[in-house]
């Protein structure tokens, strides 16, 4: 259980593996980096009926908890920050569509890095006694494209660029492409509601269809 309230900033897999080997058990990480936990929330489960306090302390020592999220082991946090930058740029007080468009391009480059991982890299077992939660591609895409889709739905330039970028991601195969197509449909529906000029709506629809 967590001994304090905050964000999981870091998990030391080598430390967990060593403790699991010493305890002869398996470990399932329940709270990955980026998760918010309260004192007493479970952060890991082990395949033993009992574990003394010394053993629990050894497992807990692999988890760093703090008041803010950290970029080191939390890829979603980086994308969330990018999405927030784009969202703020589209606020009425700033109205900087160019920055939002530039941020979305950076997001595609980051997601390309994620998608470029080969199966051997993604599936190689380095810590045989650990189970970790999988990062959902839908979450990654929504984290970074959700804010500009919401706040830029009524800006035809932003909406068109968003659809073009999502169309590029959707050309590939796999979960990331599926997530991009889902985000594209949601963003298109937002633009249909936000844009009053039919010609603008047609531009966004065309971008969603052809990229």
Other beta carbons within 10 Å of 32: 16
Query: Mean pLDDT over residues 185-198, rounded?
Result: 96
d(CA 2, CA 11): 13
d(CA 67, CA 1): 17
User: What CATH class has 6-66?
Assistant: alpha beta
Neighbour-count burial for 41-70, b at 16+ CB within 10 Å, e otherwise:
eebbebeeeeeeeebeebbeebbbbeeebe
Please choose, from the candidates 183, 188, 181, 185, the residue with its C-alpha nearest in 3D space to the C-alpha of residue 202.
188
Question: Both tokens of residue 57?
Answer: 């302390």
pLDDT above 70: residue 5: yes
Residues 140-189 pLDDT 10s: 999 999 999 999 999 999 999 999 999 999 988 888 999 999 999 999 99
Cα separations in angstroms, 94 against 10, 88, 151, 190: 35, 7, 12, 21
Across the chain, where does the E strand assignment appear? Answer: 6-11, 27-29, 36-37, 44-46, 63-66, 130-131
Mean pLDDT of the chain: 92
Other beta carbons within 10 Å of 81: 15
d(CA 86, CA 90): 6
What percent of the chain is predicted at pLDDT more than 70?
97
Domain ranges of the chain: 6-66, 75-127+134-210
Backbone angle region of 40, left / alpha / beta, with phi > 0 → left and psi within -120 to 50 → alpha: left
């Amino acid at each position: 259980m967590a001994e304090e309230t905050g964000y999981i900033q870091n998990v030391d897999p080598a430390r967990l593996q060593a403790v699991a080997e010493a305890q002869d058990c398996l470990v399932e990480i329940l709270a990955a980096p980026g998760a918010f936990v309260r004192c007493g929330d479970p952060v890991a489960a082990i395949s033993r009926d009992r574990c003394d306090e010394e053993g629990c302390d050894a497992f807990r020592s692999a988890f760093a908890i703090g008041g803010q999220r950290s970029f080191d082991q939390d890829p979603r946090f980086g994308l969330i920050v990018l999405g927030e930058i784009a969202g703020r740029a589209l606020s009425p007080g700033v109205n900087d569509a160019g920055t939002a468009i530039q941020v979305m391009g950076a997001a595609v480059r980051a997601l390309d890095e994620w998608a470029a991982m080969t199966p051997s890299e993604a599936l190689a077992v380095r810590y045989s006694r650990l189970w970790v939660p999988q990062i959902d591609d839908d979450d990654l895409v929504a984290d970074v494209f959700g804010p500009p889709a919401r706040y830029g739905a009524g800006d035809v330039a932003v909406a068109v660029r968003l659809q073009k970028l999502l169309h590029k991601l959707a050309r590939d195969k796999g979960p990331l492409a599926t997530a991009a197509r889902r985000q594209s449909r949601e963003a298109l529906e937002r633009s249909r509601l936000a844009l009053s000029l039919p010609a603008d709506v047609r531009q966004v629809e065309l971008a969603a269809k052809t990229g």
